[in-house]
Chains A and B, each alone.
Chain A
Amino acid sequence: DSGVTQTPKHLITATGQRVTLRCSPRSGDLSVYWYQQSLDQGLQFLIQYYNGEERAKGNILERFSAQQFPDLHSELNLSSLELGDSALYFCASSVAGGPPTDTQYFGPGTRLTVL
């Protein structure tokens, strides 16, 4: 158990809908990362937050957005869902979010299925 929690575990929804994925980082970690894992694209970095502020952006679509709240939990919002958005979405957390020895710890993931 990494200490990172994600809810829900599974989500099944229809095209065009909007969903929210939630992540709670390990106690003491200030940085949260979101990754998407799909069969065709592999594991890809979406976005990072550090202590409430956006720090880095990866291959995140404009239909997707995220935020980190004062209690450091984070939410990833996916809207206007398409079939191709079906994937495993992982959250990871780290203490500081940058130094070369900063290890990222991953949550169990949310499996999103768009029908």
Chain B
Amino acid sequence: SQQGEEDPQALSIQEGENATMNCSYKTSINNLQWYRQNSGRGLVHLILIRSNEREKHSGRLRVTLDTSKKSSSLLITASRAADTASYFCATLDTGRRALTFGSGTRLQVQP
């Protein structure tokens, strides 16, 4: 079963704009991770944020985590056409070993 719900389901922006995706989850977690998937291909790990962290940066990516609201957001700044992909949040739930994935956000960046 999927824990995370991602919002929006689909997002279309122009190159250079920022893209923000949100993820909500239901249970207590050890960490939350964001992955990117290009159409029908493998998942690429983007960033991991631990439950005791509130914000993390990696290049043009900024992730926030609010455990009180059970939510996370992924911000991609200065988007590029190559950022076009589906983005998934995944939680490592407390007491579990495998990831629980959200339903994903399809991002389309128009050149």
Does the CB pair A58–B98 fall under 8 Å? Answer: yes
Instruction: Report A15-42 residues with CB < 8 Å from chain B CB.
Output: 33, 35, 42
B104 — which chain A residues lie within 8 A by C-beta?
42
Q: How many A residues touch the partner, as a band?
A: 20 to 34
If the complex has contacts A2-B44, A59-B1, are A100 and B98 also in contact, measured as CB distance less than 8 A? Answer: no
Does the CB pair A106–B44 fall under 8 Å? Answer: yes
Indicate which residue in B2, B33, B35 contacts A42 across the interface (CB closer than 8 Å).
B2
A56 — which chain B residues lie within 8 A by C-beta?
96-98
Instruction: Report A99-115 residues with CB < 8 Å from chain B CB.
Output: 100-101, 103-109, 111
Q: How many B residues touch the partner, as a band?
A: 20 to 34
Does the CB pair B97–A103 fall under 8 Å? Answer: no
Does the CB pair A90–B45 fall under 8 Å? Answer: no
Instruction: Report A74-115 residues with CB < 8 Å from chain B CB.
Output: 88, 90, 92, 97-98, 100-101, 103-109, 111
Bound-complex Cα distance A41 to B13 (A): 27
Instruction: Determine the residue in chain A with the shortest Cβ distance to B29.
Output: A100
Does the CB pair A45–B33 fall under 8 Å? Answer: no
Does the CB pair A104–B99 fall under 8 Å? Answer: yes
- Asked whether any CB of chain B lies closer than 8 Å to the CB of A14, the reply is no
Bound-complex Cα distance A70 to B14 (A): 50
- Asked whether any CB of chain B lies closer than 8 Å to the CB of A43, the reply is yes
- Asked whether any CB of chain B lies closer than 8 Å to the CB of A68, the reply is no
Does the CB pair B42–A106 fall under 8 Å? Answer: yes
- Asked whether any CB of chain A lies closer than 8 Å to the CB of B18, the reply is no
Closest 3 A/B residue pairs (Cβ): A43-B101, A45-B98, A100-B30
